[in-house]
Structure 1
Amino acid sequence: MELNDLQAQRQAKLERLRDAGLNPYPTRSSRTHSIAAALADFDALATSESSLTLAGRIVGARRVMGKIAFAHIEDGSAGIQLWISRAEVGDEAFLRFRDDLDTFDIVEVAGVLRLTQKGERSIFVRSITILAKTINPPPEKWAGLSDVEERHRQRYLDLIVNSERRDIFRARARTISTMRSVLDARGFVEVETPVLQPIYGGAAARPFTTYHNQLGQNLYLRIATELYLKRLIVGGFPGVYEISKNFRNEGVDRSHNPEFTMMECYQAFADYRDVMDLVEVMLREIALAVTGGTLVPYQGQQLDFGRPWPRISMAQAILEQTGIDIAQIHEIDVLHAAMNAANLKVERKGTWAKQVDEIFSEYVQPLLIQPTFIIDYPVELSPLAKRKPEQPAFTERFEAFIVGMEIGNAFSELNDPFDQEQRFLDQLKDFAAGDDEAHQMDADYVNALMYGMPPTGGLGIGIDRLVMVLTDQPTIREVILFPHMRQRD
């Protein structure tokens, strides 16, 4: 590989280490404590003059002042100052530190903990060993990698130089672990379902397609786990959940990534009202675990996860904001005429369901700042949800919204196999009419329903978007370790 001048200088230092008989990449470390553990027990270790061995990456500038040198190391748990005396470590090791080690190198130091004259907790080094010689130097403004695209392309570097970025992904881990705890405590069983599927389903989305050579058939990266999880409810599980990667062949923006993480859960003998209660409890517990409270700041606003969430029907929400009553308008031409009369500036869609969704997305969704449930969606928008007994044109479905983003989607699950088959057939008509996100026919799923699925409440929550909100991040890319990026030319 071609090296620039700075990389070549570091490579020359690496060769000097090798010439001195040192391995710049030794097999193992002899670390006895994490830095965080050493600092937590600092007073006792310092009083006893106990020898310990720490390891970490050199961060910030190294300072050499005559026969004394200073540096800081971090190991991911915490950081500590190195106090290095030429008299203590010897001439060879001291000069090696001065001449052949660099910022970003990973080292191991043995010594004792003491306070410096300025009161800084430090390790007074007795020996120093190279664990990994780095060839790439830190960025010029190493205390903060400011180029957003470079942060996403080189997430490893972003994590090195931006410690707050590591905090985001620790918060993401707490979000998922708390979600698991809430579900486990309620008797849900965590399961795994296929990523490669012969029929994609469970959501309105375009799939990624691949080909299995031996079987000679197209397969699809899953767009949702829903239909497999509901098969397990048919099979007798009282409650199941899966935290998984889903894949949708769609655009990339502040709230969309083609590969994203979802939690889906299904509970037998429950309906969408039970699921709304579960969402309120779950997100309150997650907010407490991640932020320490139920009032969560997001982009200058304060969100309240501690209160009951408003429950507003889709028809009522659209009527209030546009004056159009979708409960009374069922033809696309009539809906377009009503839009013209109301002077709605939205893209014209080819199907009634798509047009209703577009109106909602433009005129209602951006106003849903506080945690809110939009409930009772039209049947045409909800091919997997059960009809409302008192309003058969609508379904027992809700979506959970926060700061104008859909965070969750849930149904009283449709368990009538004949109704389900007809809705799949209706979706195929939409597909033939040009709706490339329409659901496909899944005959095996219909067959499963014919064995009987109990009344079931189902839920999907987008973990990436939820973490965006809880960590006050403006885009989904900030909460995905390796977001999808366009290839460079």
Structure 2
Amino acid sequence: MAEQQNSSQQKQGGRKPAQDLNQVLKVRREKLAELQAAGKDPFVITKYDQTCHSREIVEHFEEMDGREVSIAGRIMSKRVMGKASFCHVQDKLGTIQCYVQRDSLGDEAYKEFKRMDIGDIVGVKGYVFKTQTGEISVHAEQVTLLSKSLQPLPEKFHGLVNTDIRYRQRYVDLIMNQDVKETFIKRSEIIREIRNFLDGRGFMEVETPMLVDNAGGAAARPFITHYNALGEDKKLRISLELYLKRLIVGGLERVYEIGRVFRNEGLDQRHNPEFTLMELYQAYTDYYGMMELTESMFRYLAQKVCGSTTIYYGNKEDGTGKEIDLGKPFRRLTMEDAIKEETGIDFETIRTDEEAKALARERGIEFEERHKRGDIINLFFDEYCEDKMIQPTFIMDHPIEISPLTKKKPDDPSKVERFELYINGWEMCNAYSELNDPIDQRERFAAQDALSAQGDEEAQHTDEDFLHALEIGMPPTGGIGYGIDRLVMLLTNSAAIRDVLLFPTMRSLKAENDNIEDKKD
């Protein structure tokens, strides 16, 4: 029984109605059983000699014309017309048409081809040619079934558009949506080019622990797990910082790590509880050195990956997008100057915690009683400035209260030598002139411990081994952390962080169904 395309498939996931789907599943399994009974089980095949991909044939047609090739991929469409048929085979680089003729394959092989289904994985051996309509194709001389698809793909007209299904079944999303595949190919390219850039600057890539006793280096609540072999709880790291600084103490001078970190926080368009972070540390430089490195790296990545230092984010068709110029020097602005520019408020004239809180009340900005003047400044920046930073802007000289691992500015100890880069209204990275004074660091850890005692679940804790490392001696150092997922969003024009994570964090299907039932009740 031939499987038919059904226009009544459900638009949200491209699925057939349940009764129809059950019949399709039955037919496909019957076809597999027949193949196995005839000694032609596709799952017995262990390899196939694939000589090229679809895009190579299309892009180099003049030299490939008439050449014998072997391609492999998934059947995405099939049109049977008596003695000759057409199908489209999709591989990792694209899709190519195959012309399948009974006289070229033989009666039995052609009959087997006709019983193949959309979604089956095949190997096609034949020669390259161009059809009368001008489509570059492969004239099949041999078609080998390499894997039988027992589940139908979403119907082609509707595709896979339901985002929940797309994220849960990314394997189907990659098959049905070529732009999704291109995004993840580009993600891999971005990470490769980051490594190339840093290698050219003498950096060494390292790996540090994910399970830690003290999850420090950032203001975030950690995940906690139990280590059975040791009989004690461990935390999943929230940052890479403290171990990488230990390596600077050890004399490695230029180190970086690209790895997963885990923060027990909410989900939204730009946040996932596990995400990819890159941190790097360079001895004998400061936050100005980190600005130069960052500006150079972003410019390099845009040119390499996007082909230009001018990129576009958003929808160009309806005019809601933005052109972002990474080729010009990035703007540099202190946090207080940014606030003054947007609101007219000069925090230089507001010197006490109470004055800052009174101003926050006047402006309707929520804060906690434990907050100090520096915390209020940060809240004002978040409220009035962050989303205005469309073109690349370094926001510098943060309040000391929100920067427990950063060197004070020598001329103003209420501020630290820190910057964040903002592009498209997003924080893209966070950098410091690293604090290397162990006495000052101990005092700041103590202040963080006090915040924790007051109920701040994101406060850091004293790390005695890290303090011991600083007492051994760490040179002046510049350090920086980049959110790789957000960088990929920018360079691939992706709307949400889930669009650049192959397998984003999602509520389990059981929990999702329970939630739906609760709402019904």
What TM-score comes out, normalization by structure 1 length? 0.95
Structure 2 partner of 1:214 = 229
Q: Report the Cα offset of residue 411 of structure 1.
A: 0.2
Q: Equivalent of 1:153, from 141, 165, 168?
A: 168
Structure 2 partner of 1:365 = 386
Q: Report the Cα offset of residue 462 of structure 1.
A: 0.6
Q: Report the Cα offset of residue 40 of structure 1.
A: 4.6
**Cα distance 1:213–1:329, how it changes in 2: closer, same or farther (>3 A)?**
farther
Question: RMSD across aligned C-alpha pairs, in angstroms?
Answer: 1.7
CA contact (8 A) 1:143 1:162 kept: no
Structure 1 partner of 2:195 = 180
Letter aligned with residue 364 of structure 2 = K
1:206 is paired with a residue of what secondary structure? coil
Distance 1:445 1:325 in 2: 37
Structure 2 partner of 1:486 = 507
**Cα distance 1:275–1:245, how it changes in 2: closer, same or farther (>3 A)?**
same
Structure 2 partner of 1:30 = 49
1:477 is paired with a residue of what secondary structure? helix
Q: Please, which moves more after superposition, 26-35 or 474-483?
A: 26-35
Structure 2 partner of 1:202 = 217
Q: Equivalent of 1:11, from 9, 12, 29?
A: 29
Structure 2 partner of 1:110 = 125
Q: Please, which moves more after superposition, 414-423 or 162-171?
A: 162-171
Fraction of identical pairs, as percent:
46
Note if 1:162 corresponds to 2:183: no
Q: Please, which moves more after superposition, 298-307 or 110-119?
A: 110-119
Q: Report the Cα offset of residue 408 of structure 1.
A: 0.1
Q: Equivalent of 2:204, from 189, 194, 208?
A: 189
Letter aligned with residue 177 of structure 1 = R
Structure 1 partner of 2:290 = 275
Letter aligned with residue 166 of structure 2 = R
Structure 1 partner of 2:274 = 259
Q: Report the Cα offset of residue 289 of structure 1.
A: 1.2
The residue correspondences of 1:27-426 to structure 2 (distance < 5 A) are: 27-47=46-66, 50-60=67-77, 62-98=78-114, 100-141=115-156, 144-299=159-314, 300-329=321-350, 331-341=352-362, 344-350=363-369, 351-352=371-372, 353-426=374-447
Distance 2:331 2:389 in 1: 10
Q: Please, which moves more after superposition, 350-359 or 187-196?
A: 350-359
Note if 1:20 corresponds to 2:38: yes
Letter aligned with residue 6 of structure 1 = V
Distance 1:76 1:345 in 2: 53
Distance 1:39 1:19 in 2: 39
Q: Please, which moves more after superposition, 463-472 or 73-82?
A: 73-82
Q: Report the Cα offset of residue 140 of structure 1.
A: 2.2
Q: Please, which moves more after superposition, 304-313 or 411-420?
A: 304-313
Structure 2 partner of 1:474 = 495
**Cα distance 1:418–1:23, how it changes in 2: closer, same or farther (>3 A)?**
same
**Cα distance 1:323–1:114, how it changes in 2: closer, same or farther (>3 A)?**
closer
Deviations 1:164-185 (A, max 9, x none): 1111112111211111111111
2:195 is paired with a residue of what secondary structure? helix
Distance 1:213 1:20 in 2: 51
1:450 is paired with a residue of what secondary structure? helix
Deviations 1:155-203 (A, max 9, x none): 1111101011111112111211111111111111111111111111010
CA contact (8 A) 2:257 2:279 kept: yes
What TM-score comes out, normalization by structure 2 length? 0.89
Letter aligned with residue 12 of structure 1 = E
2:338 is paired with a residue of what secondary structure? helix
The alignment of Structure 1 onto Structure 2 pairs a total of residues equal to 482
Q: Give ranges in structure 1 of 5+ residues lacking alignment.
A: none
CA contact (8 A) 1:182 1:282 kept: yes
Distance 1:143 1:292 in 2: 32
Q: Please, which moves more after superposition, 265-274 or 77-86?
A: 77-86
Distance 2:159 2:303 in 1: 29
Letter aligned with residue 452 of structure 1 = G
Note if 1:443 corresponds to 2:458: no
CA contact (8 A) 2:377 2:399 kept: no
Distance 1:219 1:238 in 2: 29
**Cα distance 1:432–1:329, how it changes in 2: closer, same or farther (>3 A)?**
farther
Letter aligned with residue 405 of structure 1 = W
Distance 2:247 2:191 in 1: 22
Letter aligned with residue 29 of structure 1 = Y
Q: Report the Cα offset of residue 323 of structure 1.
A: 4.1
Distance 1:29 1:305 in 2: 45
1:230 is paired with a residue of what secondary structure? helix
**Cα distance 1:328–1:415, how it changes in 2: closer, same or farther (>3 A)?**
farther
Q: Give ranges in structure 2 of 5+ residues lacking alignment.
A: 1-18, 315-320, 514-521
Distance 1:436 1:332 in 2: 22
CA contact (8 A) 1:63 1:69 kept: yes
